[in-house]
Structure formats: C-alpha cells, structure tokens
Amino acid sequence: MSKRLPGLTLRLLLFAATVILMLLFPPPSHAQSTINVPADQSTIQAAITAASNGDTVLVAPGTYTENINFIGKAITVTSSGGPSVTIIDGRANGSVVTFTTGETTSSTLSGFTIRNGQSNFNTPGFGSGGGIFISSASPTIRGNVITGNQAVAGIGISINGGSPVIQNNTITRNTQCCGTSGNGGGGIHASASPSAIDASPQISGNTITNNSLSGGGNGGGILVDSYSTPTIQGNLIGGNTAYNSGGGVALLNNALVTFVQNIVVNNSSLAGGHGGGMYLQGTNYTIVANTIAGNTAVDTSSGVYAWVFGPPFVFRDNVVVAAAQVPITCYNANTSFIPTFSFNDAYSPSAQAWLGVCDSTSLPGNISADPLFKNAANGDFHLTQGSPVIDAGDNSAPNLPATDFDGNPRITDGNNDGVATVDPGAYEFAPPPPPTVSLSPSTVTFPAQLVATSSSPQTATLLNTSGSNVSISSITSSGPFLQTNNCASTLSSGSSCTINVVFSPIGRGVSTGALTILDSASGSPHVVALSGTGIAPVASFSPTSLVFPPQIVTTVSPSQTITVSNVGSAPMTINSITITGDFAFDSGCGASLNAGASCTINVSFAASAFGNRAGLLVISESADSSPQNLGLTGTGVDFYLNVIPSAVSLVRGTSYNLTVSLAPLGGTFGKPVALSCSGVPSHSSCTLSPAQVTPGSGGASSVMTVTTDKTKTPIGTYVLTITAVSGALSHTTQVSLVVNGKH
C-alpha cells in the first residue's frame, strides 16, 4: 500500500528539481555586440542608451558635440582612431562625461579627447568635473586626452567616492572658472565621504600638465582629500599652478594616500599657499621613490611642504631638488608630531635642504647632494654616471615597484659595487646607452603609380649619430616595395648610407609596407613607413547586355545605348570595338578615356531572318586582360505565305476561289502586307480580297479569285505567282492552274 507525500514535501522536491534544471541548463546570456557610431547610432549617448552590459560602443573619428552619461552600464566606449581624431566636445554645458550610477571598472572610456566641458554651480556636477565627473562610481578611464575644460574644482576629472582606474591619460590645460570652492584639483580631485565603503582610486601612468587653479584652491595637478585612499603611481605631474598650496599635488585631511614613483616638476604655488611641488596636510601618507624638482612657491617651500599630524608617515627613496628655494619644509602647528625621513636626497645649491621641524637624522640614508640629472632644464631627470644618488636608496621601502618610471628594472647595481640597491627618485640609473642612429625620412609616400609598373626610387638615409660604430644586421622591405642600398655591415661614427626604395603596385588602392633596418643602435629595428597608391583604369559598362524588341526582317531598329565608363584612377586606352550578328554600332568613344569619364556606343538591330538573333559587342581596352563581350539579342519577325489549294483545274468560262494565308513568324507582324498575283492566261483575271492584310499575332487571309473567259481564255497549264510585300520585305508562292475546254 503506497503512501502519498505530504504537500509541503512535494513542493520542496519540485523546487529542488527546478533549481537543478536551472543549474544544468542556464538561460542564454546576452551576446556581446558592437554598436558603431555614427553608423548604427548617430550619437555616442544614443549608443550608450541602446547598449547592454558587455557591449562595445565603437566611435568613428570625428567631433561629437554632446555630453554623455554611462547611466550605470558595464560597457566599453572607445574610439577606432584614437584621441587625436575622436573628440567629445561638451559645449561648455556641464561635465563632458558623467559616471554617477554605480559604474564599475567594467565601464570603460578610452581613446577620446574630452574637451570644452564647463561645470559651474548650476550644473549637475555643482562646479566639479569639467571634463569627467565621477560620483560613487568606479569606471576605467584609460588613454584619453582631457583638455580645455573648465570648472571650479576637479577641473579635468572629479572623483567623489568610488575606486575608478585613471590610467595613461593626458590631462592638460584645464583651467578654473566660475568661482572658487576652497577645494581644487586642476587636473584631478579625489575625495570621499567618511562613510564611503570603497574609495580607492588607481591613478597611474598619466601625464598631468599645465593645469591651473589661478583663482583659488589647492593641488594644481592633483588634490586628494576627505577620506579618499588612492594609489598614485607613475604619473608625470608638471607645469601646474595653484593659487593656494600644492602647485603639483596637495594631499589633505584624512586621505590615506600611496604616492609612488611620480615625477613632480616645474609646478608653482602662487600667492596663497605652500609647497610648489607637494603640500601634505594630515596623516597616513606613503611617499616613495618620487622625483620632485624645479618647483616654486612664494614662501620658498619649493619641493615639499609637510604639515603632518601623526603617523603613519613614510617618506623614503625620494629625490627633492630646488634651485634657489628650500627642498623640504616641515610644519607642526597644532600638533607635536615631527615627521621623519629616510634615504632621500634633498638638495638646493643656494638654500638649506631642510627647514622647520623635519627629522632627517634619526633614520638613516638622507643626503643633500646634487643628483646630477641628465638635463633638468629640458625635462630629463635621469641620473648620470657618478650621481651620489645611485645605489643610495632602501630596497625595503614599501610599495616599491619592480620597474622604474621608464619600465626598466628597479633594483640594479648601478655603482658596480656588487650589491644591487635601488636608486632614490623615479628613475633607476641605466648603463651607457647603445649607439644611436637617425633614419630619415620616417615615412615615404610615393606618388600615384600605374599598376604593374615601377616608380622612380626614393631615398632614405641612415646616419650614425653616436660616437661608436653601429653594426647593421639586415635591411629589408615589405609590401610592394623593393630596396637597394649601399650600406656596409658596419656604419662608423658620423657616417651615413642610403637606401633606395621603389614602389611596384600589384593592385589598385593604397599599399603599405615598411623599410626595416636591424642594427645595434638604440631603438632597433628602425623603420621607415612606406605607402603608395596604385592606380589603374577600371572599365564599367552599362548596361552589360542589350535586348531588342521584335524587329521586322530587313528593317533597322531604333538604336540602344551602351555607356562605357572609366571608374578607375588612370586613363584607359580603347583598343578596338567590333560587333557580330545582325547588329551594327555607332561609337562615340575615342582612343582613350580619362579616369572618371564616359562615352557612349549606339547599337541597332537589323534582323536578317525571323527568330532569335544573337551577337556580341566586343570591346578591347587596357583595363582588362581580355576583351569584354557584351551580349546582344533580338527577335526577327517575318511572315509565311501560303495558298490553298496549290493546284486548280477549271473549265473555261468558270472561276475559282483560293485562300491566301499569311502567318506571323517570330512574333507579331504589325505592318500591312500588300498582295498581288501574276501569271494568269490571257482573257482571264486574278483578284485578291482584301488586297492588303496585317498578319498581327494570329495571322490573316485573303480570297484570291481566278476568272476565265468561256471562248477566249486559252486552254493549257499555267503557273500563278502570288506576291506579298511589306516595305522591303517580299515573299511569293505559286499555284498550278489548268484551264480545260469542257467538263
């Protein structure tokens, strides 16, 4: 005897089965797709609105005058041509790009110039983020140029909460407008509220230059404040100005900041503050392996102004250089904390290295010596041979990257003492460079060249610009380009050799290739970009065949026209034009046809017989390897003449009626046909009624009456001829006539 399951148990089993089926057979996911702008959507915002998570919005080169908002979508918005040719212009109407709907790092913006944004107190950004406004969101901003924007603060990029990735962008020439707010951030402003769960921006690899806070505010390049905890690494921060503190960088309040391996140079703090390079106010700062040089401040605190409230504070492996001002200044009003420094080079040729309450002696490694930059006046802050900074750092510094600002190994034995030790500053000293060469020009563009011919040579010159020999391993060319050269295997200092390149296109259109030189010089392989356009005529025929309506035999149709066009890029030679079949032509084409030109050929049809007639218009020209055959067809129309009966015997004095039939051949015969007869004996007659008929499509007939005279018509056998004539067309048929004397 079976037992029934209780209702609750049954429902639980059904639920479990449903879950298992869903795990085994999940619903299909959205297929990622690419939305092209403007091909698929006319604006970037329209494409974003139409996109689904995982999609890519691919934007063609052009200037797009609009303001865009990612509206929370995990999509990639990128350009096909890069920021130099793909511009989003914000029309001075708020932030150019907005992320305020919880976007994650899967929301990516790359490859654009972001310009002409203006955020004032009446826009959604409330004066922040002229270029890009981020609030409680974590998008990825990579490979853009953010320039020419205006705002009160966070002019280039404003980050208010969230952990965005700001990477490899150029943030330049953004200026303050519309008042001041007490904040700043000419290039970037990163802040967060105390309750922010995730506020750790990653700011790396950016070039942040020539941004201005001339009206008021801190951090001409970067401002971090209010609980934001960014990592700032590998950025060039130069030429920025702030009216208040931190011409290059200002780190304020309770921000927890990791500031590693940046170059902070030639920034200015104007009348209202301190720290031309960096201004530190607060706590929780890790400042490691940076180069800070050439900055200025009105109060002479050129490099770093540190007003640190308490630990943790790490300032290690940095190079801070001031020309006629103080490299590092420390201040501790309202706090008893004295910041300590280790393994830094703080140097000024005409001022004291440390000012204020800086502790540069309790911890080891601090020096004050000229770091011997390679060429600081021209922006080259690499160390040179003999620099006292080489191998003077601390390998255990926190957050020390594995590679330096150039991507070279970070810890090497630069002074050849057998111990690999990091160099303070953003650059690790590198051994003397390999020899150098110049290869000019860097690109060669050939004039248009006829396909299957060779151009005149163009020359590239390889010059040894170094003091040592250069070994040349190989010289090759790719694409439809051939090279010859007079280069030996070794190129001595100051000498040069030449490479001649010839362009031999094998097809129409743009061809690209490269002249590649493998050698021992820096930057090898050295490449000359090659390009040229192959031109050739291209013949086009319209139409490619002609069909003539039915035409009466021996008559000539109205002409039909074939247009011959050269749709290629070079003149086309017309060698010959011939025709076959029942067709004739009249050509308006000369011996050649320029690119883009056309000519006409008039063709007529003169059927020589009824039925389908075919022929060819044969055109031989230089665009094609063989003559082009254009089909010609038409139908000849005729009629068939018949008499019934074909033999008649009658007695003199009587008459006889015969039927003359005309049947169309090949189609409708729409012309009238005149009928006549001949060959009757004397004193007799032959009449046709009607004497003119039109065969049409179904044929026509006439009654032929033969009449004889009883006494006068001669007895005998005769052949009567019936003739049918329409224009130049004539047909005959015959009837045998026997005249008897009696029955």
Query: Which one, of 630, 463, 454, 609, lies nearest residue 542 by Cα?
Result: 630
Mean predicted confidence (pLDDT) in 486-499: 96
Task: Tell me how crowded residue 120 is: count the other CB atoms within 10 A of its CB.
Answer: 18
pLDDT band of residue 472 (cuts 50, 70, 90) is very high
The pLDDT of residue 589 is above 60: yes
What φ, ψ does residue 13 adopt, rounded to 5°?
-65, -40
**pLDDT on residue 121:** 87
How confident is residue 194, by pLDDT bands cut at 50, 70 and 90?
Answer: confident
Residue 30: pLDDT band (50, 70, 90) is low
* Residue 58, CB-side half-sphere exposure with 13 Å CA sphere: 11
Instruction: Output the CA angle 517-521-525, nearest 5 degrees.
Output: 35
Residue 412, pLDDT score? 93
503 three-class SS: strand
Q: Is pLDDT above 90 for 48?
A: yes
Q: Is the peptide bond before 312 cis (omega within 30 degrees of 0)?
A: yes
Continuous segment of H or E residues that includes residue 7 = helix 7-24
User: Is pLDDT at 309 greater than 90 in this prediction?
Assistant: no
Q: Please give the Cα distance from 307 to 155 (Å, whole number).
A: 25
Residue 28: is its pLDDT beyond 70? Answer: no
Is the bond leading into 433 cis (omega within 30 degrees of zero)? no
Domain ranges of the chain: 180-410, 448-532, 539-636, 645-740
Whether 6 has a pLDDT exceeding 90, the answer reads no
What letter does residue 20 receive in the DSSP assignment?
H
Which residues lie across from 78 on neighbouring strands? 58, 110
Would you state the pLDDT for residue 256? 82
Summarised one tens digit per residue, pLDDT across range 609-645 is 999 999 999 999 999 888 999 999 999 999 999 999 9
Q: Across residues 694-705, what is the average pLDDT? A: 96
Nearest to 59 by CA among 48, 69, 72, 73: 48
Task: Give pLDDT, residue 23.
Answer: 39
Helix, strand, coil percentages, rounded to 5, for the chain: 5, 50, 50
Cα–Cα distance for residue pair 706/721, rounded to 1 Å: 12
Which two structure tokens, joined as six digits, stand for 360? 């540069």
Show the beta-strand stretches assigned E in 156-230. 157-160, 165-167, 170-172, 175-176, 188-191, 202-204, 207-209, 212-213, 222-224
- What is the pLDDT at residue 8? 33
**Residues near 375 by Cβ (< 8 Å), separated by ≥ 6?**
none
Dump pLDDT digits (tens) for 505-552. Answer: 999 999 999 999 999 999 999 999 999 999 999 999 999 999 999 999
Taking residues 699-715, report their average pLDDT: 96
Express each pLDDT in 346-394 by its tens digit: 999 999 999 999 999 999 999 999 999 999 999 999 999 999 999 999 9
pLDDT per residue as tens digits for the range 68-126: 999 999 999 999 999 999 999 999 999 999 999 999 999 999 999 999 999 998 888 88
C-alpha closest to that of 58 among 41, 38, 36: 36
**What is the residue whose two structure tokens read 């050509």?**
587
Kindly tell me if the per-residue pLDDT of 3 is higher than 50: no
Sequence-ordered list of residues with C-beta below 8 angstroms from that of 277, at least 6 positions apart, any chain = 247, 248, 249, 264, 265, 267, 292, 293, 295, 302, 303, 304, 320
What is the CATH code of the structural domain delimited by 448-532?
Answer: 2.60.40.10
Matching CATH topology for 539-636 and 645-740? yes
DSSP string for residues in 580-596: -SSEEEEE---SEE-TT
For a pLDDT cut of 90, what percent of the chain falls above it? 86
Cis bond upstream, residue 364 (ω within 30): no
> How far is the C-alpha of 217 from the C-alpha of 227, rounded, in Å?
18
Lowest-confidence segment of 180-184, 670-674, 723-727 by average pLDDT: 180-184
Task: State which amino acid sits at residue 713.
Answer: T
- Give the residue carrying structure tokens 């690119």: 595
Segment 709-729 shows an average pLDDT of 95
**Any idea what DSSP says for residue 260?**
E
Residue 586 to residues 511, 575, 599, 605: CA-CA distances in angstroms?
40, 16, 12, 12
- Three-state DSSP at 455 gives coil
Percent above pLDDT 70 for the chain: 95
| Residues 196, 203: Cα–Cα separation, whole Å | 18
Confidence of residue 584 (pLDDT cuts 50, 70, 90): very high
Any idea which residue has 């049947």 for tokens?
663
Contact 471, 519 (CB under 8 A): yes
**Can you name the residues that pair with 115 across neighbouring β-strands?**
89, 147
CA distance 9 to 477: 78
CATH of domain 645-740: 2.60.40.10
Which residue's structure tokens are 């029942």?
A: 582
Distance CA 675, CA 721 (A): 11
Using CA atoms, how far apart are residues 326 and 311, in angstroms rounded to an integer?
24
Report residue 51 as tokens.
């996109």
Asked if pLDDT for residue 651 goes beyond 90, the answer is yes
Mean of the per-residue pLDDT values of the chain: 92
CB-CB contact of 612 with 571 (8 Å): no
The answer to whether 496 and 461 have CB atoms below 8 angstroms apart is yes
Q: Mind listing the pLDDT tens digit for each residue in 241-271? A: 999 999 999 999 766 899 999 999 999 999 8
Supply the pTM of this predicted model: 0.58
Three-state DSSP at 44 gives: helix
* pLDDT exceeds cutoff 70 at 9: no
Q: Are 142 and 169 a contacting pair, CB within 8 Å?
A: yes
How is 537-592 classified by DSSP, letter by letter? --EEEESSEEEPPPEETT--PPPEEEEEEE-SSS-EEEEEEEE-SSEEEEE---SE
CA 485 vs. chain centroid, Å, equals 35
Give the β-pairing of 647-651 and 729-740. Answer: parallel
Name the token pair of 104. Answer: 């994650």
pLDDT in tens, 212-226: 998 899 999 999 998
Nearest by Cα to 312 from 389, 383, 257, 379 = 257
Per-residue pLDDT band at 195 (split at 50, 70, 90): confident
Q: Are strands 716-726 and 628-644 parallel, antiparallel or unpaired?
A: unpaired
Residue 494: burial class (beta carbons within 10 Å; 0-12, 13-18, 19+): exposed
Say what the pLDDT of residue 22 is.
Answer: 40
- The arithmetic mean of pLDDT across residues 408-423, rounded, is 93
- pLDDT band of 743, cuts 50, 70, 90: low
- Of the candidate CATH numbers 3.30.420.40, 3.40.50.11540, 3.30.930.10, 2.60.40.10, the domain formed by 539-636 belongs to 2.60.40.10
- d(CA 452, CA 323) in angstroms, rounded, equals 64
